[in-house]
A and B are shown apart, each in its own frame.
Chain A
Amino acid sequence: MTRRGFLAQVAAAQLAGAQTHFTPKAKRVIYLFQSGAPSQLELFDYKPRLKEMAGQELPDSVRQGQRLTGMTATQTTFPLVPSKFAFARRGQSGAWVSELMPHVAKVADKLCFLKSMHTEAINHDPAVTFFQTGFQLAGRPSIGSWLAYGLGTENQDLPAFVVMISQGTGNVSDQPLYDRLWGSGFLPTKYQGVKFRSQGDPVLFLKDPEGVSKPGRRTYLDDLAELNRMRLAETGDPETATRVAQYEMAFKMQSSVPELTDLSKEPASTFERYGPESRTPGSFAANCLLARRLAERGVRFIQLFHRGWDQHNHLPGQIVNQCRDTDQGTAALIADLEERGLLEDTLLVWGGEFGRTVYCQGKLTAEDYGRDHHPRCFTVFLAGAGVKAGLSHGETDDFSYNIVKDPVHVHDLHATMLHLLGVDHTKLTYKFQGRHFRLTDVHGRVVREVLA
């Protein structure tokens, strides 16, 4: 090992001992990723002037010749379309939330809206990959992997990084997800996210197979350890000792994971709070409830993905369904965390990979419209540890097309997330291919304006 390699390892090891660069506000993250890209125009970015301009062409002065996706670039017309849904100011803070999200509206004062998010990618695969790994192409570690690597775990019986997936009822043939979104990229594989599943074993191969009893498994592990230790005495290879420990950890997971995913002891009031859907395994609401249980157990990074937000056509109908899937669970999770005193050291993030266009994709009718991908502005909200509750940060123009104030880039969001976790985003590095890689590449600015 070279000196540099050695020093880099020491640096990583220091951080891995959960020593942060400065005092963290957040101990963990719950990321409610809305895959497919929710329309900011229907949910949070209220644009009253659009009503008067409905059906008019998107002015060139607004578009400024910027690129569009291949799906609409050759459209002959780009008619402006206002949201069909009513907006109102909510809570003390007066944040705008549309009628589609009545439950979220009730917790608006707990939220910090970033209304000026922007990204570089214009298509789903690169855009989601960018949000989860800081790079549009495959091969980099996901946020959760960086944190598992940098901060380690607080619970020896559960993985540091857990992923859960749900399918929305909006666009049912929506964009797929990819294992790389929780992959470890060039970091060692042990830092990758562990997917908790709603069908079969919650963790792959978790359950003892039919025909193996619990006491049988225990003696099996004891025998295995005994045999492994005999070999260890011969070879002196510490990997063997590690393997014995990993089998013990696996055994613990066999009880800790089912205990975690077993919702039968939750009182009826919990399901009332999270909504009837929360009784359906694999629903977004059920995953929100599990997210709370994971947070209670000290899991570092809890990543939810909810698919179905890609409303190219039939937006009004589809988005109603998407919001019904997610609204109550999201709001319940925030309130629940707060009630349990967990919101103060949990950072919650809600948002998709880009926004949607103000102009209509496809045929505009009195009842129906669609919106294409729009990377130039969209809304993400944060809640919890260290963020200013009740703040709306950043502004877009009258068309929700360009940002006019306080842009926040994906790298900035990442830098801010790491900052809240006590990590300097320029210092959490891993050397690969001769470079000290970071989640934020060579970019990123902590958005201090939103810090409490």
Chain B
Amino acid sequence: MFWLIAVTAWGEGVEFNRSVRPVLSDKCWSCHGADAAAKGIKLRLDQAEAVRGAGEKILDRITTANRARRMPPVHTGAALSAGETAVLKQWVEAGLPWEKHWAYLPPARKPALSIDGIVRARLEREGLKAAPRAGRETLLRRLSLDLTGLAPTLEELDREESYEASVDRMLASPRFAERMAARWLDVARYADTNGYQTDGERQMWRWRDWVIESFDRNKPFDQFVVEQMAGDLMPGAGLEQRMATGFQRNHRGNGEGGIIAEEYLAEYAADRVETMGTVFLGSTIGCARCHNHKYDPFTQKDFYRLFAYFHNIGERGRYFKYGNTPPFEMAPTPGQRKELDAIEEKIRAAESRLKPGEARGRLDWKPERDLVSREKIGPSYTDRFSIAARVRMSGASGEILAKTVPGEDPMGFGFGWKQGRIYIHLVQRWLDDAIRVESERVFADGASHAVAMVYDGSKLAVGLQLYVDGKPEKLRVLVDELNQDFQVKEPVRTGGEDVRFYGRRIEPLEVEFLAGTATGAAARRRQYLETVERGAWAEVVKLRREREELMDRIPTVMVMRETGEPKQAHVLIRGAYDRKGEAVEPGIPESLGPMPAGLPGNRLGLARWLVSHENPLLARVTVNRLWQALFGVGLVKTSEDFGSQGEWPAQMELLDWLAVEFMESGWDVKKLLKTIVMSETYRQSSAVSAEMLQRDPENRLLGRMTRLRMDAGQVRDHALAVSGLLVEKVGGPSVKPYQPAGLWKELSGGADYVMDQGEGLYRRSLYTFWKRTAPPPTMANFDAAGRETCVVRENRTNTPLQALNLMNDVTFLEASRKLAERMMDEREGLARGFRMVTSRRPSAAEMVVIERALARYREEYQRDPAAARNLLAHGDSKRNEGTDVVELAARTMVASLLLNLDEGITRE
């Protein structure tokens, strides 16, 4: 840690940024920074012009013996160390030289260099040597875990294949895309639930699969960014592009009763800005939400100019408790798309078989189909249903069909009239959890009409239609906040004549027939079809029904969709949703501007700027995160903060070299990763001497490879893979593997986790259902990000709970049993198991311990075969009945031992 601060003498050009800026930022700017005016402080120390001429004053105030005058004030707790005081003195004496913060200058590189050239030169300056190259098996394991997330198989370990060929094979594997996607899910705060309070399920897995596919196809990273930021606004945007914008809907959504919608609308837009800041700019722009940023050049106005890009998608502040909240769209999988096309083709064919012709005579057809008997009426808020009746509206009010609890403003659903207006009520809680609409028209007392209502199960007032005498009737929306079911255990009451209830949406034409108002060619044609062409028509009807059923199964995904109506954004004073300040227009932070000419003034323009060469941050921040994924620590350790409070890059030259390389390659992710993993720097051994460990504990000088514990998903996936349980299927709805009973229920009293059966137990961990308020325990134990907010930095701890998890969780017990089945042969079994888990052959000394363990377990289970059977009963998969129970149990314990080895869950 000392090489960075060893040089304090003024001299090389970088000294301001490297030595002075960190001191000013950490010790001075929280008062004398961009937000100084708000504190009534005149002197600013964050701008070259402001500092000029203040040298003596600064010296005086930081060195005075008078404690009351000395800066920083005691109460701030930000005292200057002797070293820091010295740095500031030298700075003043050198005439207060100033430099723009490094991260806002465009990255530049010396083209002749290479990763190894830069790293070696640095090591030489420090008087150090690079570590030797790691052994072949170690390297293959490292490469495989880093690029595919899984360790090499024995066959892969033994394959005659050059290192480069292995790299290419892995980059081409679908496992690579899954590995990259798994990390992106943390960054994008992806989850399968809404995250607040009830934390109901949402459906975003189509977006997750879009990410996998993007990495699989090696989509250029700039395109990857633009589509997620503004796919909906791209010219000719298709489903793929629109789906990509789900990135910005992955934030949590609050469906709690009683919340104030405006407050959360502001929250969602702010989350989008903050996430964009962290992921794409490595900047803590979120700090400028309530005041000017204290350390970095972002004003509060800048924050709300960014906010203005994200606040106009017509979303509701109160999200649905369960399911997706608009705007969302149907996102069929490629398979479903094919099914849909096939059905539509069939429908066209069936329709073409209908003979053209018309029936003559009376129109007496009535849509009887699907009439639900009175006892069965009890639709839920997600069901489609329709009601039709004839009523005479006499008196102040009356019910046509209702199923509500007794009393005023009741829960339940009601269709009736009051004060001359026809109403439809779908009510959970009268004031704030209901859809309540009524006719605009006021009908005369005693008027008699045919009425009908249709509901599409969307939980939205726009999903309701009212018809009077066969014609659509205009509705007034009183409340449009239905968020929970309105089912009640009450009898149905009816009040009209010929009241009909359908468990589907009836069509306008059917409504007309019911009203007796159907006339004209369309009606006659329909009657003809129903009566004369009965068989062929029935086929059409059946196919249309099939299409509807398919449509019901098609997943949806929440997306960004501009309303098209302008919506003025404002600075929110102190960040409070209800304190609007100055009006602002969309724009990028002034310090990073100006916006290049020719870009549109909307989110698409912002996205194009993000990936333009005018933005110095995106490439740096991205290569740094990729580096972090391989080396455990980024070249800038604070991968979430490249600002003044962030860490000075341990290897600036390397960071910029990679950033330029990345941009010049056309943002080619696979190429960049290949460049890194082909370097000798990556291929070094991770063994470390005590001396070196003390000198460079975090391996910032890259004089070796970093030895890293697998991440949470890898720990589980590895156990599944070596035991042969892993189901390698890409994409699809999230799955629910083993989880101790009661974890959901004890938090909410609601429904508990229902585990999958069969293949859902054995999919890779990136497909595990993620409930934000109760994440999967193994993932939480092994330091996975919580997915409540955007997380870019990795975190690895070493705890007793991890030990218990690996030893005792059914996931790992079952994997041990299945692994044991693969190591049953006397001569080679144990060594093979060891090699599958660690990717290397055990030493003789290690074999002694392992064989001794086996002998002991064998003896133990011989004494107690019941215990052996118990041990083998863990997990849903079948046991190989052909094996000896005692022997298998003994080897299961050995397999568990192997899976618990430090090395077993480590990449060296």
| Most chain A Cβ neighbours within 10 Å, of B83, B689, B795, B864 | B795
A197 interface contact, C-beta 8 A: yes
A307 interface contact, C-beta 8 A: yes
B121 interface contact, C-beta 8 A: no
A176's partner among B197, B278, B857, B867 (CB-CB below 8 A) is: B197
Q: Give the distance to chain B from A238, nearest Cβ to Cβ, in Å.
A: 7
Please report which residues of chain B, range 401-456, place their CB below 8 angstroms from some CB of chain A when the two chains form the complex: 407-408, 429, 431-432
> CB-CB < 8 A to B903: which residues of A?
228, 231, 240
B620 interface contact, C-beta 8 A: no
A235's partner among B804, B860, B869, B908 (CB-CB below 8 A) is: B908
B429 A178 Cβ-Cβ under 8 A: no
Q: Give the distance to chain B from A396, nearest Cβ to Cβ, in Å.
A: 22
A201 B260 Cβ-Cβ under 8 A: no
Please report which residues of chain A, range 431-452, place their CB below 8 angstroms from some CB of chain B when the two chains form the complex: 431-435
Interchain Cβ contacts under 8 Å between A and B, 26 examples:
A1-B637, A1-B698, A3-B5, A70-B318, A70-B431, A71-B432, A124-B197, A176-B747, A178-B772, A199-B746, A204-B801, A205-B809, A206-B808, A209-B874, A211-B873, A217-B807, A220-B896, A235-B688, A239-B902, A242-B798, A250-B800, A250-B804, A253-B804, A433-B287, A434-B287, A434-B296
> CB-CB < 8 A to B801: which residues of A?
194, 203-205, 250
Tell whether A243 pairs with B798 under 8 Å between CB atoms, given A71-B429, A236-B689.
yes
Tell whether A180 pairs with B687 under 8 Å between CB atoms, given A220-B853, A231-B903.
no
Look across to chain B and name the residue whose beta carbon is closest to the beta carbon of A223: B853
A138 interface contact, C-beta 8 A: yes
A219 interface contact, C-beta 8 A: yes
A228 B901 Cβ-Cβ under 8 A: yes
Q: Give the distance to chain A from B900, nearest Cβ to Cβ, in Å.
A: 6
CA A237 to CA B901, docked complex, whole Å: 14
> CB-CB < 8 A to A247: which residues of B?
800, 803, 900
Stretch at the interface among A38-46, A165-173, A265-273: A165-173
> CB-CB < 8 A to B254: which residues of A?
123, 125
Could you list which residues of chain B lie within 8 angstroms of chain A, going by C-beta atoms?
1, 4-5, 22, 26, 77, 81, 83-84, 195-199, 252, 254, 256-261, 267, 278, 284, 286-287, 295-296, 318, 407-408, 429, 431-432, 481, 578, 637-638, 640-641, 643-648, 686-690, 693, 698, 700, 707, 709, 740-742, 746-750, 772-775, 777, 780-781, 783, 786, 788-789, 795, 797-805, 807-810, 813, 843, 845-846, 849-850, 852-853, 856-857, 860, 864, 867-874, 889, 893, 896-897, 900-903, 906, 908
Stretch at the interface among A183-191, A326-334, A380-388, A399-407: A183-191
B774 A179 Cβ-Cβ under 8 A: yes
A246's partner among B432, B690, B800, B869 (CB-CB below 8 A) is: B800
B81 A190 Cβ-Cβ under 8 A: no
> CB-CB < 8 A to B261: which residues of A?
70
Look across to chain A and name the residue whose beta carbon is closest to the beta carbon of B689: A236
> CB-CB < 8 A to A259: which residues of B?
none
Stretch at the interface among A4-12, A100-108, A315-323: A4-12
A2 interface contact, C-beta 8 A: yes
A372's partner among B195, B258, B775 (CB-CB below 8 A) is: B258
Q: Give the distance to chain A from B408, nearest Cβ to Cβ, in Å.
A: 7
Look across to chain A and name the residue whose beta carbon is closest to the beta carbon of B685: A235
A197 B746 Cβ-Cβ under 8 A: yes
> CB-CB < 8 A to B846: which residues of A?
227, 230
CA A287 to CA B781, docked complex, whole Å: 24
Look across to chain A and name the residue whose beta carbon is closest to the beta carbon of B783: A189
A199 B742 Cβ-Cβ under 8 A: yes
A236 B688 Cβ-Cβ under 8 A: yes
> CB-CB < 8 A to B259: which residues of A?
69-70, 122-123
Look across to chain A and name the residue whose beta carbon is closest to the beta carbon of B429: A71
Tell whether A224 pairs with B686 under 8 Å between CB atoms, given A71-B431, A138-B788.
no
A165 B747 Cβ-Cβ under 8 A: yes
> CB-CB < 8 A to A77: which residues of B?
none
Please report which residues of chain A, range 282-313, place their CB below 8 angstroms from some CB of chain B when the two chains form the complex: 307
B780's partner among A124, A179, A217, A433 (CB-CB below 8 A) is: A179
B897 A231 Cβ-Cβ under 8 A: no
Look across to chain B and name the residue whose beta carbon is closest to the beta carbon of A185: B786
A211 B868 Cβ-Cβ under 8 A: yes
CA A317 to CA B770, docked complex, whole Å: 37
- One digit per residue, 1 when the CB lies within 8 angstroms of any chain B CB and 0 when it does not, for chain A 63-106 equals 00001011111110000000000000000000000000000000
A433 B641 Cβ-Cβ under 8 A: yes
> CB-CB < 8 A to B856: which residues of A?
219
CA A223 to CA B799, docked complex, whole Å: 19
B431 A231 Cβ-Cβ under 8 A: no
A427 interface contact, C-beta 8 A: yes
> Apart from A123-B254, A434-B296, what 20 extra A-B contacts exist at CB < 8 Å?
A1-B1, A1-B647, A5-B637, A69-B260, A74-B432, A125-B197, A165-B746, A167-B749, A180-B773, A189-B780, A199-B746, A200-B740, A204-B805, A215-B860, A227-B897, A227-B901, A240-B902, A240-B903, A434-B643, A434-B644
* Closest 6 pairs between A and B when the two form their complex, measured CB to CB: A211-B871, A434-B645, A69-B258, A176-B748, A138-B788, A178-B773
Please report which residues of chain A, range 14-42, place their CB below 8 angstroms from some CB of chain B when the two chains form the complex: none
> CB-CB < 8 A to A57: which residues of B?
none
A236 B788 Cβ-Cβ under 8 A: no
Q: Give the distance to chain A from B469, nearest Cβ to Cβ, in Å.
A: 33
> CB-CB < 8 A to B687: which residues of A?
234-236
- One digit per residue, 1 when the CB lies within 8 angstroms of any chain B CB and 0 when it does not, for chain A 343-375 equals 000000000000000000001000000001100
Please report which residues of chain A, range 394-414, place their CB below 8 angstroms from some CB of chain B when the two chains form the complex: none
Q: Give the distance to chain A from B875, nearest Cβ to Cβ, in Å.
A: 10
Tell whether A190 pairs with B797 under 8 Å between CB atoms, given A3-B5, A209-B813, A236-B689.
yes
Look across to chain A and name the residue whose beta carbon is closest to the beta carbon of B896: A220
Look across to chain A and name the residue whose beta carbon is closest to the beta carbon of B901: A227
| Most chain B Cβ neighbours within 10 Å, of A122, A231, A234 | A231
> CB-CB < 8 A to A230: which residues of B?
843, 845-846, 849
A339 interface contact, C-beta 8 A: no
A205 B867 Cβ-Cβ under 8 A: no
A237 B805 Cβ-Cβ under 8 A: no
A237 B707 Cβ-Cβ under 8 A: yes
Tell whether A434 pairs with B688 under 8 Å between CB atoms, given A70-B258, A204-B804.
no
B740 A4 Cβ-Cβ under 8 A: no
A177 B747 Cβ-Cβ under 8 A: yes
> CB-CB < 8 A to B197: which residues of A?
123-125, 175-176
Tell whether A190 pairs with B799 under 8 Å between CB atoms, given A176-B198, A200-B741.
yes
A213 B867 Cβ-Cβ under 8 A: yes
Look across to chain B and name the residue whose beta carbon is closest to the beta carbon of A207: B808
CA A239 to CA B693, docked complex, whole Å: 12
A53 interface contact, C-beta 8 A: no
A109 interface contact, C-beta 8 A: no
> CB-CB < 8 A to A231: which residues of B?
901-903
CA A71 to CA B428, docked complex, whole Å: 12
CA A167 to CA B286, docked complex, whole Å: 37
> CB-CB < 8 A to A237: which residues of B?
686, 688, 707
> CB-CB < 8 A to B4: which residues of A?
1-3
| Most chain A Cβ neighbours within 10 Å, of B781, B872, B893, B896 | B893
CA A188 to CA B259, docked complex, whole Å: 32
Look across to chain B and name the residue whose beta carbon is closest to the beta carbon of A373: B258
> CB-CB < 8 A to B287: which residues of A?
433-435
B22 A4 Cβ-Cβ under 8 A: yes
A338 interface contact, C-beta 8 A: no
B773's partner among A71, A179, A224 (CB-CB below 8 A) is: A179
A189 B748 Cβ-Cβ under 8 A: no
A139 interface contact, C-beta 8 A: yes
A263 interface contact, C-beta 8 A: no
A220 B897 Cβ-Cβ under 8 A: yes
Look across to chain B and name the residue whose beta carbon is closest to the beta carbon of A128: B197
> CB-CB < 8 A to A174: which residues of B?
749
B408 A124 Cβ-Cβ under 8 A: no
> CB-CB < 8 A to B810: which residues of A?
209
CA A189 to CA B805, docked complex, whole Å: 15
> CB-CB < 8 A to B868: which residues of A?
211
